Chains A and B, each alone.
Chain A
Amino acid sequence: MAYPPAAHSSPPRQPSVKVILAAADVSRVVDRIAHQILEKTQGAADTVLLGIPTRGVPLAHRLADRISTFEDVTVPVGVLDITLYRDDLRRHATRAVGPTDLPPGGIDGKRVILVDDVLFSGRTVRAALDALSDVGRPASVQLAVLVDRGHRQLPIRADYVGKNIPTALAENVKVTLAETDGTDEVRLYGGSL
């Protein structure tokens, strides 16, 4: 990827775009996380995958799908909407509330793995932990993310990371998935040079 020529006069610069993971890379990364989950959880027994909307949900389904392919075990998948638990509700116009959908067996006493696309400040995960404690009492909670871009603002870390991407704060990581956006890709949008 070529950087745009450094310009000293005022016209706004085009932000640079860099593809970090292409479709094949995304699929390999999801496979690896599925293997790591199986390894770390002794075959994914008593485990529930909970996707955080929007893109955590298709990722959770893919992980469950890969796990059943590799080891022939069915891991229940659910959705955990965190809208009402966000700490920035008052900074934006009212956000629409999405569905929370727990698997029929519930989450009490289970190992819950939260799934999201990008781990950044950690605030989404904080909200998810609060939401989780209101819907049940899991035995333990783990976190799987496709991308960790750093810049944590809370003491939170992921148990399974697809790809660590060192970023500057001004940069922006965008994950697209076939289910929600048509293609699998992870892109890094550069800030100023």
Chain B
Amino acid sequence: MIRHLLSGADLDAGTATLVLDTAAEMATVAGREVKKLPALRGRTVVNLFYEDSTRTRISFEAAAKRLSADVINFSAKGSSVAKGESLKDTALTLQAMGADAVVVRHPASGAPHRLAEWVDGSVVNAGDGTHEHPTQALLDAYTMRSRLGRLDGLHVAIVGDVLHSRVARSNVLLLSTLGAKVTLVGPPTLIPVDIAAALAPGTDVCYDLDAVLPDVDVVMMLRVQRERMGDSYFPSAREYARRYGLDGPRMRRLPGHAIVMHPGPMNRGMEITPEVADSPRSTIVEQVANGVSVRMAVLYLLLGGNNR
């Protein structure tokens, strides 16, 4: 088993499938009266969050607690970081406290990779800048597999702000490893030139959402970040919604079995309409529940044994 989970590319097909299979077993715990397993008793997991994130932090916290690990939450606001402590000094402090795993979210791309060089424990990337978010890709793959029964041969459209999306990058890497075909869809200003070739050959790019809809098994909508709207990547929010938003009529052009995903938090009315978000095709609530199971699997596989 690997020691850190920093990128969707860290996992080969066998390891990724092991994570998904383990997550399926972890999911059964959620239905039990005692939602707790003793596997990580006495281990310490630090959630080191330099960016605000409710759902990812809570998801990791729930996952670690269900495995009986001790959880320490460290958010940059109101901490020594606000007083100017460097990432390295914070890392060494955590090290001295005996953290077995550090779950890190950081606005700078690559911060978890640096952190992994400084600490003895395992590092899990919970989102770094506009780079990667591998556990989100794993939970998306898990959701697709449980809804559609397979990943190999699936056609997945990832729609929206690919340029700034760590979710998109990790998904392209992981899904191509697992045999799915990805088409990136969005305005040309938000899809980097040559991204397909740089991440995974075989990935397509298309600037017309309506052209890909009839041919996909999964549509993954990315959040349009409000702070990007002033940066003139597209003329107006309304034009974006009209060209790249998923609404009822577009959803009805999908094949009958196709599902709609969104990593959250959603901008209802922008990239997705309430009709679509609340439809039976939408897996948005499932994705949150699956996130806990997948993160349990990741923490168990990284910390459960003696992998040094």
Q: Which residues of A contact B (CB under 8 A)?
A: 81, 84-85, 89-100, 130, 133-136
Contact = CB atoms under 8 A, between A and B. Distances in A.
22 contacts: A84-B38, A85-B37, A90-B306, A91-B306, A93-B1, A93-B306, A94-B301, A94-B307, A95-B305, A96-B21, A96-B22, A97-B21, A97-B22, A97-B25, A97-B300, A100-B25, A130-B38, A133-B34, A134-B36, A134-B37, A135-B32, A135-B34
Nearest to B22: A97
Contacts of B54: none
Contacts of B307: 93-94
B276 to A, nearest CB: 35
B28 interface: yes
B153 interface: no
Nearest to A137: B33
Given A100-B28, A134-B32, A135-B32, A94 B1 contact: yes
A99 B23 CA distance: 11
Interface of B: 1, 18, 21-22, 25-26, 28, 32-34, 36-39, 300-302, 304-307
Contact of B300 (A90, A91, A94): A94
A94 B272 CA distance: 41
- Return the 3 tightest CB-CB contacts between A and B, nearest first: A94-B305, A84-B39, A134-B34
Nearest to A95: B305
Contacts of B304: 84, 89, 94-95
A81 B22 CA distance: 12
Contacts of B32: 134-135
A135 B30 CA distance: 11
A151 B22 CA distance: 33
Contacts, number: 51
From B33, B304, B306, name the one whose CB has the most chain A CB atoms within 10 angstroms.
Answer: B304
Contacts of A97: 21-22, 25-26, 300
A133 to B, nearest CB: 8
B10 to A, nearest CB: 15
A189 B25 CA distance: 35
A89 B34 contact: no
Nearest to A93: B305
Contacts of B34: 133-135
Nearest to A86: B39
A93 B307 CA distance: 5
A116 B25 CA distance: 21
A90 B36 CA distance: 18
Contacts of B305: 89-90, 92-95
A89 B18 contact: no
Contacts of B33: 136
A91 B37 CA distance: 18
Nearest to A108: B33
Contacts of B21: 96-97
Nearest to A83: B39
A156 B18 CA distance: 34
A94 B307 CA distance: 7
B306 A96 contact: no
A118 B24 CA distance: 29
Contacts of A94: 1, 300-302, 304-305, 307
A108 to B, nearest CB: 10
A177 B32 CA distance: 32
Nearest to A90: B306
B306 A98 contact: no
A93 B36 CA distance: 22
Nearest to B38: A85
Nearest to B43: A90
A42 B87 CA distance: 67
A81 B306 CA distance: 20
Given A84-B39, A84-B300, A134-B32, A92 B306 contact: yes
A85 B34 CA distance: 14
A124 to B, nearest CB: 15
Nearest to B306: A90
Name the residue among A91, A96, A99 with the largest chain B CB count within 10 angstroms.
A96
